[in-house]
Amino acid sequence: MVEVARNIRSEIEKLTSIPVMPELAQRIMELGPHPEVRKLVAIVELDPGLAGQMVRQATSPFFGYRGKVNSVSDAITRVLGVEPALRLAFGVIAGKAMRCPADGPVGRKAVWLQAAYSAALMQSIAENLPQSNRALPGMSYLGGLMHNIGLLLLGHLFPSDLHALNKAVIENPSTPLINLEQRLFMTDHTEVGAWLMQKWNMPEEVIIAVQRHHDEAYRGENALYANLALLADRLLQRLGQGGADSEELPAELLADLGLQEADLMDAVQRLLESRSDLDSLAAHMVSV
């Protein structure tokens, strides 16, 4: 195992330019949290791939909608809802800012696949939380899409170092990913990702989800979204996907959220029934 290869944290802090949020993502942010459907549809339809994916997501078994979805407008108004559709569109488009190596356990393919699955799980769990712990489904979805964006930023800025991290993950399968990152870079994807989200002026809920999703003890401000990301990652780890530190669902965290493990198993079952649609969404994000 290589010791400290380089201080990437220091290098990132000295950067004078960062990946710019794509223009369409900026336009979506400018719509605000409660846009008119026609304005959101107009932006989504500027990206044919995204428009197709939004319709496909709406017809997925995950949502259980049995009617016809013939357009982006149908997908938003009949199935997804405006706020979740807004977050889906932003997350997919914002990812185009990253040009990260595709292959390996922490390459672009793996990161976006886990992002698509985590986002769906987080939204499903959020919709079933007790009223006292209610999270916004769309914000939960965006937190899932973005929570590992630090890996994409590392690969975008330092592709050779991402190759070194891929190699370390393969050679040390029992070592938590964050530990490997800290040894190699003196930072990790949670710190790097939170830094980017702050630079992009993202909602605090998303910043915290990015920064704290490996910390099962975190109960600070906006902890709910980080907690949901942690649960989603650990559920996916049970399916052999992702880089969670454990497969255990912390009993104290479940109690604090008012959840039973059986509730989460229902969400996982719905996820498995929709794998082809989530795989398609991830493939679209990888292809950009």
Q: What are the residue boundaries of the structural domains of the chain, listed by start?
A: 8-17+100-287, 20-97
Nearest to 177, CA basis, from 169, 185, 117:
169
227-256 pLDDT, tens digit per residue, is: 999 999 999 999 888 778 889 999 999 999
CATH topology of domain 8-17+100-287: Hypothetical protein af1432 (1.10.3210)
Question: What's the CA gap between 78 and 67, in Å, rounded?
Answer: 9
Look up residue 83 and give its two tokens: 């706020």
What's the pTM?
Answer: 0.89
Mean pLDDT over the full length of the chain: 89
**Res. 44: pLDDT tops 90:** yes
pLDDT > 90 fraction of the chain, expressed in percent and rounded: 59
CB 157 within 8 A of CB 106: no
Strands (E), the chain: none
- The residue type of 97 is A
pLDDT at 5: 52
Instruction: Give dist(CA 209, CA 233) in Å, integer.
Output: 12
Q: Which residue has the tokens 């938590």?
A: 176
Q: Is the dihedral of CA 215, 83, 112, 75 positive or negative?
A: positive
At 118 the pLDDT is 95
Q: Which residue has the higher pLDDT, 45 or 19?
A: 45
Q: pLDDT value at position 4?
A: 44
